[in-house]
Amino acid sequence: MKRHIVSLVTVAAIVGTFSFGMNVSAEEVVVQKGDTLWSIANKNNVEVEELKEWNGLSSNLILIGDRLTVSTAEQYSIKSGDTLSSIASQYDGVSTKNLQDWNQIDNPNLIVTGDILTVYKSGSKSTTDDAPVKEKQVQQEEPVQTTTDESTTDTDENVAKELTMTATAYTASCNGCSGITATGLNLLDNPDKKVISVDPNVIPLGSKVYVEGYGEAIAGDTGGAIKGNKIDLFIPEKQDAINFGVQEVNVKVYK
């Protein structure tokens, strides 16, 4: 099904600046219970880092009811001498077929000077299987953080088991907290460290894991309430940990 969502504000902008060539519009989704940045990015065929950039997010935490931009579009004013092919060549990952589908153009050789084309720069609005789209394999297997020491090259061949778990979050800065994990990690001195508390009977301490929406981490801590298919994610900022709430997440445990 084609989805062409342009707000009234965007339409007004097109009318007001018709002769200038391009305007930016966006499509939004409302965060639902159980959503993560990873699941939203995967559903809309974009990268997590794109979602964070478009929405001004500094972390991977999102709240139910948040409105997230999931694609950006430009309104291109056709000029004399333009062809769909020449217009597509100006954008990475955009094909002539994309432009046809997005703008419901039956004849690619028949475009009119002054008409407005919608161009989805992320390539996320392709409606045909053979149209080029952004590769998702890397995003599915990489953590959503981009720092070098947290990236992963693990593939599904290295996954020992995959679990659906109930996740909560904790911080090391609470009253009476030492900040030292069960395996001796000092989280106060290493606030950027990705660590989860686990039940060692389910996930052995020291295991390398990938948590949906959180990224690659180490099973480096335990907790009195963490039993069975429950995990606790270390998040350095207390309010961010509170905002995380309780979520169902997919967890990969590597060999």
Give the CATH number, domain containing residue 24.
3.10.350.10
* Residue 101 vs residue 26, higher pLDDT: 101
Percentage of the chain lying above the pLDDT 90 cut:
24
Residues 149 and 131 in one domain: no
Query: Domain end: 98, 118, 140, which one?
Result: 140
Report the pLDDT averaged over residues 204-230.
Answer: 92
* 1 inside domain: no
Do both 132 and 161 map to the same domain? no
pLDDT in tens, 136-195: 333 333 343 433 333 444 566 788 899 999 999 999 877 767 789 988 889 888 888 999
Q: Give this prediction's pTM.
A: 0.43
> What token pair was written down for 102?
């997005």
Q: Is 2 a member of any domain?
A: no
Distances, alpha carbon 143 to alpha carbons 60, 66, 189, in Å: 11, 22, 22
Give all strands (DSSP E) within 35-110, no chain letters: 67-77
- What pLDDT, in 10s, does the model give residues 65-112? 888 887 767 788 999 999 989 998 888 778 888 888 878 888 888 899
